[in-house]
Amino acid sequence: MPISYGTSPASAHPTTAAGAPKALCRTIAETISSPRGRLFLALRFALAPRTYKAAKEKVRRVRSRLLDLLLLPPLLILTIFGTAVQALDGATVEKEIAARLEKISKLQNSGDDFEKLEGANSDLLKYLKATAVKPEAMTIPLKKAAESGLSVFTSDDKKVRCYSWDTLTGGTMHIFYSFIAYDAGNKKIKCLVLNPSGSEGDPGSNIEALDTFITKDGKTVYVTRDLFIGSGLIHGRTIKAYTITGGALKKHTFFQAGKQLLSEISFDFAEYEDGTEFEFSKDKRTLKVPLIKPAAKDSPGSGKATGKFLNYYFDGYHFIFKK
């Protein structure tokens, strides 16, 4: 026996089943007969075009979103494969650099066209700068390039890499091009060009070494050592300290002599011999700076190595000179 819950659906809701047409007619009649109802209908008809436009715009936005979602996977795939295609190939980079260095050497040996020699060096600098700003370039070995004349050194944390080479455009004075690539953060590698510097007659220097230090307050300090070769008997070496601060490579006061804080130390010498290089102890706690005897006033050229050194000791923050 069916269970009854009171009145039937048709009687309780005349708009359903058979009562629907009559109820609808009655509602329309009541609305038309009422002034307020007639005003309501007039407004509805007046606003109909605007309502239609709003609905159409809403549909358009929904379709646009759906289209974006459908296109998202292909775009991601294109981005991923595009990046893969542009990734550096170590062997190719080695070959390109070595070929450019060999061209520089051949042009210098032929001595026919100085402008072509300068152009070849500019081309190498341009290629290296474009390559060095890609993150994977920080770990490419570059052994073949080094054998062809490129000096390249990488920091212990792989965040700094130094490049330099002899342009072979000088005589007794050697002109070097050099720059430092460094990790500026946010997966960006930047370059600090040391030479050409824009200063006329600046021969630059060849970077000979790169050392990494961590201070007690958490700073990572990068220390370069370089060689300058001037005209005749003029030579020189410099040690410089840098940190990456605010996304830029900046000089850092890392050496202390008395009360004076220095970001670099340099000296001149006349001839290549023992005692003309900066030296770190094996544990890198001591820095030995060559003591050079100045040249006589009536003698051209630079000073001469004495075989003695000035000792700087690392206290965790600076290398401090102590007698």
Buried b (16+ CB within 10 A) or exposed e, 224-239: bbbbbbbeebbbbbbb
Distances (CA, A) of 40 to 21, 50, 112: 22, 16, 96
180 occurs within a structural domain = yes
pLDDT truncated to tens, each residue of the chain (323 aa)?
A: 433 333 333 433 444 444 544 544 455 445 445 544 554 444 444 444 454 455 566 656 656 665 555 555 544 444 444 434 467 898 999 999 999 999 999 999 988 789 999 999 999 999 999 999 999 999 999 999 999 999 999 999 999 999 999 999 998 999 999 999 999 999 999 999 999 988 877 899 999 999 999 999 999 999 999 999 998 788 999 999 999 999 999 999 999 999 999 999 999 998 788 899 999 999 999 999 999 998 887 776 788 999 999 999 999 999 999 98
Contacts of range 167-170, beta carbons closer than 8 Å, 24 or more positions apart: 167/104, 167/117, 167/118, 167/121, 168/104, 168/105, 168/107, 168/108, 168/117, 169/108, 169/114, 169/117, 169/118, 169/121, 170/203
Q: Say how far apart CA 94 and CA 133 lie, in whole Å.
A: 16
Same domain, 58 and 161: no
Same domain, 61 and 185: no
Same domain, 298 and 168: yes
Same domain, 159 and 303: yes
Same domain, 178 and 82: no
Same domain, 76 and 159: no
**Domain hosting residue 183, numbered range:** 151-321
Last residue of a domain, one of 49, 69, 86: 86
Same domain, 308 and 233: yes
9 occurs within a structural domain = no
Number of domains making up the chain: 2
Last residue of a domain, one of 70, 86, 102: 86
Last residue of a domain, one of 71, 86, 101: 86
Dihedral angle sign, alpha carbons of residues 131, 132, 136, 138: positive
